[in-house]
């Protein structure tokens, strides 16, 4: 009998505990776990005013790890400038300078004569907002951003931009629409 009474008290105690700790409608839930460190990488930038077509970025220690949103945006600006400049001039060699994925090179070449542009692009036509570095290493970087191109075209792209280090420069590899897409494999894929 005492065992049944003890078991009943335990069950009642658990029920009261759950009821007391259960969030109520309109209450402000508090997280039960917190990240060890949180670094904000979201920013809004204005377009650069100087022309740059070099997509290389190297720190003084020889590392190619992209550490700031501004650095990631400058690399992306250079890569997308080369992409659109190659399409505008119908120059597949120019596209190969900034693209490291044969499928993406073919996709750019397919736009020759198809993509309407009011004039040749310049690097300050490209602006980025809500940029966040999702992954960065010595040879691969993935960045979530919204890019807009104005002046020569009204292009707008939002997604995960993946670029890889190839000897002496960064090369565009892929653009994924959703953060949850399988972009991680592009950092390891052979192209």
Q: Is residue 172 part of a domain?
A: yes
Q: Is residue 54 part of a domain?
A: no
Structure confidence at residue 107 (pLDDT)? 95
Predicted confidence band of residue 29 (pLDDT cuts 50, 70, 90) = very low
Query: Is 189:164 a contact under the CB 8 Å cutoff?
Result: no
Is residue 134 scored above 70 in pLDDT? yes
Structure confidence at residue 189 (pLDDT)? 84
Is residue 131 scored above 80 in pLDDT? yes
User: Does the predicted TM-score (pTM) go above 0.85?
Assistant: no
Q: Is residue 166 part of a domain?
A: yes
* Strand 170-176, strand 156-165: pairing: antiparallel
CB atoms within 10 A of CB 99: 25
Q: What is the CATH number of the domain that holds 158?
A: 3.10.450
Whole-number Cα distances in Å, 117 to 66, 151, 167: 31, 9, 32
- Which residues make beta-bridge pairs with 190? none
Structure confidence at residue 190 (pLDDT)? 80
Specify the number of domains making up the chain. 1
Predicted confidence band of residue 136 (pLDDT cuts 50, 70, 90) = very high
Q: Is residue 178 part of a domain?
A: yes
Structure confidence at residue 48 (pLDDT)? 36
Structure confidence at residue 1 (pLDDT)? 60
Predicted confidence band of residue 129 (pLDDT cuts 50, 70, 90) = very high
Domain that holds residue 134: 69-187
Q: Is residue 36 part of a domain?
A: no
- Sheet of 140-149: strand order equals 126-136, 140-149, 156-165, 170-176
Is residue 46 scored above 70 in pLDDT? no
What are the residues whose beta carbons fall under 8 Å from the beta carbon of 162, sequence distance 6 or more? 140, 141, 142, 172, 173, 174, 175, 176, 183, 186, 187
């Amino acid at each position: 009998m005492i065992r049944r009474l003890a078991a009943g008290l335990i069950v009642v105690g658990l029920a009261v505990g759950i009821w007391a700790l259960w969030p109520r409608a309109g209450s402000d839930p508090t997280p039960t776990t917190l990240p060890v460190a949180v670094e904000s990488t979201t920013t809004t930038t204005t377009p650069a005013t100087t022309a740059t077509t070099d997509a290389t970025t190297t720190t003084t220690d020889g590392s190619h790890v992209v550490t700031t949103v501004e650095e990631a945006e400058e690399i992306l600006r250079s890569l997308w400038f080369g992409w659109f400049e190659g399409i505008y001039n119908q120059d597949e060699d120019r596209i190969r300078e900034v693209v490291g994925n044969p499928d993406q090179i073919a996709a750019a070449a397919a736009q020759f004569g198809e993509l309407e542009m009011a004039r040749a692009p310049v690097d300050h036509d490209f602006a980025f907002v809500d940029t966040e570095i999702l992954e960065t290493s010595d040879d691969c970087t993935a960045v979530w951003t919204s890019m807009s191109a104005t002046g020569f075209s009204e292009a707008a792209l939002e997604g995960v931009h993946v670029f890889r280090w190839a000897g002496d420069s960064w090369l565009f590899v892929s653009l994924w629409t959703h953060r949850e897409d399988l972009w991680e494999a592009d950092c390891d894929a052979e192209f």
